[in-house]
Amino acid sequence: MRLTLAQITVDPGSVQGNVERASDAIERAAADGADLVVLPELFNVGYFAFELYGRRAEALDGETLTTIRDTAVEEGVAVLAGSIVEDLESSAAAGIPVPTDDGLANTAVFFDRDGERRAVYRKHHLFGYGSAESDLLEPGQRLPTVEYEGFTVGISTCYDLRFPKLHRQLVEKGATLTLVPSAWPYPRVEHWKLFPRARAVENLLYVAAANGVGTFDQTELLGRSTIFDPWGTTLASSSDDPALVTADVDPGRVERVRDEFPALEDVRTDW
């Protein structure tokens, strides 16, 4: 399977421009043979544009995700639209299952090639350090996986990378590939380089971390989107400029690595 991380510029002043850049990235990735494209966290609004969350929140059948879904169908490629600020009340009114029928959530959606909404992941761990996210949003409750191109795909979002238990729970659900839409800023470069690699190594699976680029007041996203294999080897990565980060990934590779080094069989739960 050809996997592409769409490291796009996220401009807090232009939701329409951000969505257009996301759609263009999907089109270019599909033209290069991508089977699955991953967008960054809050790619339409911008993570650090907290003042826009309420005004720019949408239901899952709203304009942003409808555009992304339509692009996925037109290009014949699956997309993890990761993520938008979801208006939970509006989603509930549209008949979409929600953890609560009030408030906002940081929500990623997996669309398959036919535009079907296959998985909805609402970010579990909400950031509080120098961030208003934990004050403004509701945490997610479900941890879905989706079968695609031979992989069992799990989803986590940005700050979730710091919490190994969530990723081990994905493995217990059968995950062989974890997608991580993110909005990781400077100066925490070393943390960004460490956590996705660690999650790949300790769980013996692929981890693909898709970051954005752009500046919000004094905060700058650091890019460096990366795809790691089950040994933690870097398959593809980028700088802090806009880029399409692409690698061919093989579900059989996960099985072979786990057979060769069966560390997951030695996990103890009796203490």
226 is written with which tokens?
Answer: 């990366």
Q: Is residue 96 part of a domain?
A: yes
The CATH number of the domain holding residue 77 is: 3.60.110.10
Please indicate, yes or no, if residue 223 is contained in any of the structural domains.
yes
Q: Which residue has the higher pLDDT, 235 or 267?
A: 235
Confidence (pLDDT) at 99: 87
- pLDDT surpasses 90 at 103: yes
- pTM for the model stands at 0.97
CA gap 57, 134 in Å, rounded: 16
Mean of the per-residue pLDDT values for the chain? Answer: 96
pLDDT at 114: 97
* 57: in domain: yes
Gap between the Cα atoms of 224 and 56, Å rounded: 27
Does residue 206 register a pLDDT over 80?
yes
Flag whether 271 is in a domain: no
Domain count along the chain:
1
Nearest to 185 by CA among 41, 4, 89, 22: 41
> Is pLDDT at 237 greater than 90 in this prediction?
yes
Q: Please report which helix (H) or strand (E) contains residue 7, including its range.
A: strand 2-7
Q: Does some domain include residue 132?
A: yes
* Phi-psi label, residue 174: left if phi above 0, alpha if psi -120 to 50, beta otherwise: left
Residue 13 reports pLDDT greater than 80: no
Q: Is residue 166 part of a domain?
A: yes
Confidence of residue 129 (pLDDT cuts 50, 70, 90): confident
pLDDT-based confidence at 101, cuts 50/70/90?
A: confident
Percentage of the chain modeled with pLDDT above 90: 92
Mapped onto helix, strand or coil, the DSSP state of residue 188 is coil
Q: State yes or no: pLDDT of 100 exceeds 90.
A: no
Residue pLDDT, tens place only, 132-171: 999 999 999 999 999 999 999 999 999 999 999 999 999 9
Structural domain range at position 54: 2-266
Closest CA relative to residue 138, chosen from 92, 109, 104, 90: 104
Confidence of residue 218 (pLDDT cuts 50, 70, 90): confident
Amino acid in the structure at residue 129: Y
pLDDT digits (tens, 9 = 90+) for 57-69: 999 999 999 999 9
* Cβ-contact 35, 10 below 8 angstroms: no
Q: Is 220 strand, coil or helix? A: strand
